[in-house]
Chains A and B, each alone.
Chain A
Amino acid sequence: MSTHPPQTLRRTPLFDRHEAAGAKLIDFAGWEMPVQYEGVRSEHLAVREACGIFDVSHMGEIETSGPQALELLQRLLSNDVAKMPVGGAQYSLLCREDGGVLDDLFTYRLQADRYLTVTNAANHVRDLEWFNRHAQDLPEAEVADRIEDYAMLAVQGPRAREIVQALADAPLPARMTSASGRLAGAEVLVCGTGYTGEDGVELLCAPEDASALWGEIVGRGATPAGLAARDTLRLEACFHLYGNDLSLERNPIEAGLGWCCKEDTGFIGSEAVRAVRAAGPAEKLVAFVIDGPGIARQGNPVVGGGEVTSGTLSPTLAVGIGLAYVPAGRAAVGSALELDVRGKMRPAVIKQKPLYRKGT
């Protein structure tokens, strides 16, 4: 319950903004990050009803370029990278040979042979090592660590586009596309992506431009939102969180991410994914809603096999929700589950994903 983490943590260019806004700061993957400002609930609802802004500058960036960039990415990433046009955005997994998931990532195609991949903070060093190792076989693919070159802001919610558009010199890119442009005078890579289940954009800019950009967007009505709200928002939308719902021990198929695995590209891990897809996974990741009081948490066992990998109280639905791996034979939507929440049995029901869909 200490008020400040030790000083050895890394800080984003927005640290002073967070302190001035009275944020509670925590150690997140070695970064001193805002977990909340005014309160999780109000920040969550601001994103659902209007617009929130998140500092996600702790996330890493890897640039892959050169004539063999596509060949390298096709080998590393689970999706069909060749299908992504210039200005496109694509979600994929980074897998080991055994199909275990090293990370889940968005990749943006900046130019014909130049790509930017956004990594999870905790995985960045390992991802970069993996990229570099496999680039050794491809002399015309260059891998560069760009984590120091970018700050990243996520602006999310039904009003997000309108607020950011007011700062832009050109129309914002559509959902699942990206474009470089100027926002309030700064050069920004604008991406029509997010992690909240709402419309919005993610902005990659030079670290020295981040604070002014943050100020402009907050000044136009975006509510600063912390990592706690980011987690409740993504969980309602049933987006995976690496380290909770994805890990080296879990195969993409059991995680429900077969849709972003294109085995025909021959990506590393494709054989393992193909085998699990053919045989069917032993367990499946399901979304659940608790029937009655209680909140399940990561690590709570599912009675009869499996475990909860993410759990919280949904601010939108006002009920305990989460994701859990359960035996494949018991994973049908509508099935009842019993969750062992620190010795108390909590009944739950498997629901269709996502648990929240925008506009509902």
Chain B
Amino acid sequence: MAQASYPDDLLYHPEHDWARIDPADPDTATLGITWFAQDALGEVVFFEPPPVGTSLQKDAPYAEVESVKAVSEVIAPVSGEITEVNEALADAPQLINEDPYGAGWLVKVRLSDASERDALLDARSYIATLGG
């Protein structure tokens, strides 16, 4: 998507990641990178998710996204265990650019510490970290 957008129903990590807590199952979340991150990276050409079952540590890198020019680490916004990965990205990594909050999701996790979400930012606070 060409225009910056930061949906209100997501929680954000200052390292340009988002988490969508599942309203029906608040112990699980979908993770991805923000519009700002994909724009800064440019066209994503490769994403290889970690295997299902991998443990994520909040604030630590858990995967890499690669653009033509660079490799960037993806930081976990929350701790937990990966329950599902977005297999579609293997053949279509550009979904991360085209639809970073939808088809471009990266992994789903079962949260190990539900209170961690309190440390994440809402859309307005995240946008404020982006500066001008």
Determine the residue in chain B with the shortest Cβ distance to A297: B71
List B contacts of A342 (CB < 8 A). 64, 71
Neighbouring B residues of A344 by C-beta, 8 Å: 48
Binds A, one of B35-43, B79-87, B105-113: B35-43
Chain A residues, Cβ within 8 Å of B67:
40
Q: Are B66 and A295 in contact (CB under 8 A)?
A: yes
Tell me if B45 is interfacial: C-beta within 8 Å of chain A.
yes
The reply on A231 being an interface residue by CB < 8 A is yes
Shortest A87–chain B CB gap in Å is 37
* B42, B46, B67, B68 interface centre (most CB from chain A within 10 Å): B68
CB closest residue in chain A, given B69: A228
Given A1-B36, A1-B40, check contact A313 B45 (CB 8 Å): yes
In contact, B45 and A24 (Cβ under 8 angstroms)? no
The answer to whether B90 has its CB under 8 Å from any CB of chain A is yes
Report the Cα distance A228→B43, complex, angstroms: 11
**Complex contacts, A231 vs chain B, CB 8 Å:** 69
Bound-state Cα–Cα, A1 to B67, Å? 13
Q: What's the Cα separation between A313 and B36 when bound, in Å? A: 22
Q: How many chain A residues touch B (Cβ–Cβ < 8 Å)?
A: 20
Q: Which residue of A lies closest to B71 (CB)?
A: A297
Instruction: Tell me, in angstroms, the Cα distance from A313 to B90 when the chains sit together.
Output: 14
Instruction: Say yes or no: B68 contacts A228, CB within 8 Å.
Output: yes
Contacts A40-B69, A231-B69 given; indicate if A295 touches B46 (C-beta within 8 A): yes
Number of residues on chain B facing chain A (CB within 8 A): 16
CA gap between A357 and B66 in the complex, in Å: 26
| Choice from A1, A294, A297, A315 contacting B48 with Cβ under 8 Å | A294
Verify A228–B42 contact, CB threshold 8 A. Answer: yes
Kindly state whether residue A36 has any CB partner on chain B within 8 Å: yes
Find B68's partner among A1, A24, A40, A294 (CB 8 Å cutoff).
Answer: A40
Is there contact, CB below 8 Å, between A293 and B46? Answer: yes
B contact residues around A41 at 8 Å (CB): 43, 68
Interface membership of A247, Cβ < 8 A: no
Chain A residue with the shortest CB-CB distance to B97: A39
Give chain A residues whose Cβ lies under 8 Å from the Cβ of B16. 1
Hey, what's the 0/1 contact readout for A286-311 against B, CB within 8 Å counting as 1? Answer: 00000001110100000000000000
A142–B71 alpha-carbon span in the complex (Å): 46
The complex places the Cα of A231 from the Cα of B45 at a distance, in Å, of: 15
Q: Is the interface of B mostly helix, strand, loop or mixed?
A: mixed
Complex CA gap A195/B16 in Å reads 36
Using known A-B contacts A40-B42, A295-B45, A295-B46, determine if residue A35 contacts B36 with beta carbons closer than 8 Å.
no
- What does the 1/0 interface line of A18-29 toward B look like (CB < 8 Å)? 000000100000
Q: How far is the CA of A239 from the CA of B34 in the complex (A)?
A: 36
Residues of B within 8 A of A57 (CB): none
Chain B 56-74, CB-CB to A under 8 Å as 1, else 0, gives: 0000000010111101000
Given A40-B68, A293-B90, A295-B66, verify A313-B46 contact (CB < 8 Å): yes
Question: A residues within 8 A CB of B36?
Answer: 1
> How long is the Cα–Cα vector from A295 to B64 in the complex, in angstroms?
12
Verify if A312 is at the interface (C-beta below 8 Å from B).
Answer: yes
Distance of B129 from chain A, by nearest CB (Å): 11
* B46 smallest CB distance to A (angstroms): 5
List B contacts of A312 (CB < 8 A): 68-69
Say yes or no: is A193 at the interface (Cβ < 8 Å to chain B): no
CB closest chain-A residue, reference B45: A313
Instruction: Give A109 Cβ to nearest chain B Cβ, in Å.
Output: 36
Residues of B within 8 A of A120 (CB): none
- A232 sits at the interface (CB 8 A): yes
Given contacts A1-B16, A295-B46, could you give 20 more A-B pairs where the C-beta distance is less than 8 Å? A1-B36, A35-B69, A36-B42, A40-B43, A40-B68, A40-B69, A41-B43, A41-B68, A228-B42, A228-B68, A228-B69, A231-B69, A232-B68, A293-B46, A293-B90, A294-B48, A295-B66, A313-B45, A313-B66, A344-B48
Which residues of chain B have a CB within 8 Å of any CB of chain A?
16, 36-37, 40, 42-43, 45-46, 48, 64, 66-69, 71, 90
**Which of A's residues lie within 8 Å of B, judged by CB?**
1, 24, 35-36, 39-41, 228, 231-232, 293-295, 297, 312-313, 315, 320, 342, 344
Across chains A and B, which 10 residue pairs bring their CB atoms closest together, nearest first? Answer: A1-B40, A313-B45, A40-B68, A228-B69, A39-B43, A295-B46, A295-B66, A41-B43, A228-B68, A40-B43
Instruction: Pick 5 A–B contacts, CB within 8 A, sort by A.
Output: A35-B69, A232-B68, A295-B45, A312-B68, A320-B46
